[in-house]
């Protein structure tokens, strides 16, 4: 489940934090949607092909958009300045770029090869940053090719998939520590597959999809800090408590004990079940008495049932194995069904004595 953060909650989570969005126009859109969670009054102003700063002084939050439309030497130098300590490291880094490389090089294979070389060069730097900061690499969204202008016709979904595959392969292969690796932000790509048809230019996502991506990004970072009740999507698996461990051991021992006792009783019952008369050569009828069930066996059997029920509840409620959904309570959804049932009960009631007389006459 995704928690919808209010601006006050976002400020509490991001207090004294520095966030950097690094990339092209698509990352700039994500940047605007993200800061609108902090301050809904923000307007999309400023140089589209330049750096855009944002600061919330009340919570000491600083969010910057840095215009780097290509993965090249300039982007590498910026990331390197953070790793060398000459510039303060951001707490969160959101980066991604590819469509400009496809556009200005007319979708050539040489551009893809150079992209692989450049992202291979910055991958170790991103991995180094990921040890102390949260680093997200945003995969490129698909485009709606029918709506692209002539200057963007070379940006095809086939090319975008090739660039995404290269980024995922290189960033994942360079990581040895799974806890410190760069997080690949692929949810934007999945959302775009369903909503890119509503795009105004075929390249950029509609505003509703961008807002959803920003809210997911907020959940990814803040859920482990704020721990909202309805925000289970991005929280780490909670560790088992002492009570849960003791309960697990108790029910496990109960199941093992019940199986052992049942096995012993069954074996004894089978031995005494059939008796053969050796002198007459005839088999006597088996004893009709069932094996006596001891109190201990009945108690262990009950504990086994309780253990299975508790395990089912744990998997459904506490674990992240099954999908969950937000549930909302409203007075109308609660009282309308109750009133409906009461009305039905008033109009569909009969005297039980009359019903019994009718049944008797029918018989």
Query: How far is residue 135 CA from its own chain's centroid?
Result: 18
- Tell me which of 3, 199, 204, 211 is the catalytic residue: 204
Torsion angle (degrees, nearest 10) of CA 75, 80, 82, 86: -120
- Tell me which of 25, 174, 175, 262 is the catalytic residue: 25
Exposure b/e, 253-292, CB count within 10 A at least 16 = b? ebbebbeebeeeeeeeeeeeeeeeeeeeeeeeeeeeeeee
Q: How far apart are CA 152 and CA 134, in angstroms?
A: 33
Indicate if 25 belongs to the active site. yes
For residue 63, give the 3-state DSSP assignment.
strand
Q: How far apart are the first and last CA of the chain?
A: 58
| Max Cα-Cα span within the chain | 108
For residue 171, give the 3-state DSSP assignment.
helix
Q: How far apart are CA 70 and CA 227, in angstroms?
A: 36
**Helices of type H across 131-277:** 157-173, 187-195, 207-226, 242-273
Indicate if 201 belongs to the active site. yes
For residue 132, give the 3-state DSSP assignment.
coil
Instruction: Write out the two tokens for 175.
Output: 């990581």
Indicate if 105 belongs to the active site. no
Phi, psi of 274 (to 5 degrees): -110, 130
Exposure b/e, 189-209, CB count within 10 A at least 16 = b? bebbeebbeebeebbbbeeeb
- Tell me which of 201, 274, 294, 302 is the catalytic residue: 201
Catalytic residue numbers?
25, 201, 204
């Amino acid at each position: 489940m995704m928690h919808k953060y209010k601006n006050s909650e976002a400020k509490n989570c991001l207090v004294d934090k520095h966030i950097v969005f690094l990339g092209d126009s698509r990352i700039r859109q994500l940047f605007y949607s993200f800061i609108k969670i902090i301050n809904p009054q923000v307007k999309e102003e400023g140089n589209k092909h330049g750096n855009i700063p944002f600061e919330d002084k009340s919570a000491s939050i600083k969010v910057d958009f840095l215009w780097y439309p290509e993965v090249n030497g300039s982007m590498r130098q910026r990331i390197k300045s953070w790793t060398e300590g000459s510039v303060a490291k951001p707490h969160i880094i959101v980066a991604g770029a590819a469509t400009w490389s496809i556009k200005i090089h007319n979708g050539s294979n040489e551009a893809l090869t150079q992209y692989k070389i450049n992202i291979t060069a910055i991958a170790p730097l991103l991995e180094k940053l990921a040890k102390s900061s949260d680093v997200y690499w945003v995969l490129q969204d698909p485009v709606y090719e029918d709506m692209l202008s002539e200057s963007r016709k070379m940006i095809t979904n086939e090319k975008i998939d090739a660039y995404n595959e290269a980024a995922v392969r290189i960033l994942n292969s360079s990581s040895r520590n799974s806890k410190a690796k760069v997080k690949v932000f692929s949810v934007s790509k999945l959302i775009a597959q369903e909503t890119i048809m509503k795009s105004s230019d075929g390249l950029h996502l509609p505003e509703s999809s961008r807002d959803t991506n920003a809210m997911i990004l907020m959940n990814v970072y803040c859920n482990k800090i704020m721990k909202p009740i309805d925000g289970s999507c991005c929280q780490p698996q909670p560790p088992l408590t002492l009570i849960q461990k003791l309960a697990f051991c108790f029910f496990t021992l109960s199941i093992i004990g019940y199986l052992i006792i049942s096995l012993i009783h069954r074996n004894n019952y089978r031995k005494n079940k059939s008796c053969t008369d050796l002198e007459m050569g005839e088999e006597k009828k088996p004893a009709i008495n069932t094996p006596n069930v001891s109190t201990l066996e009945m108690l262990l059997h009950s504990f086994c049932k309780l253990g299975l029920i508790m395990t089912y509840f744990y998997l459904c409620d506490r674990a992240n194995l099954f999908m969950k959904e937000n549930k909302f309570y409203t007075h109308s959804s609660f009282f309308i069904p109750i009133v409906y049932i009461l009305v039905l009960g008033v109009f569909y009631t009969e005297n039980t004595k009359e019903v019994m007389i009718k049944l008797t006459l029918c018989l």
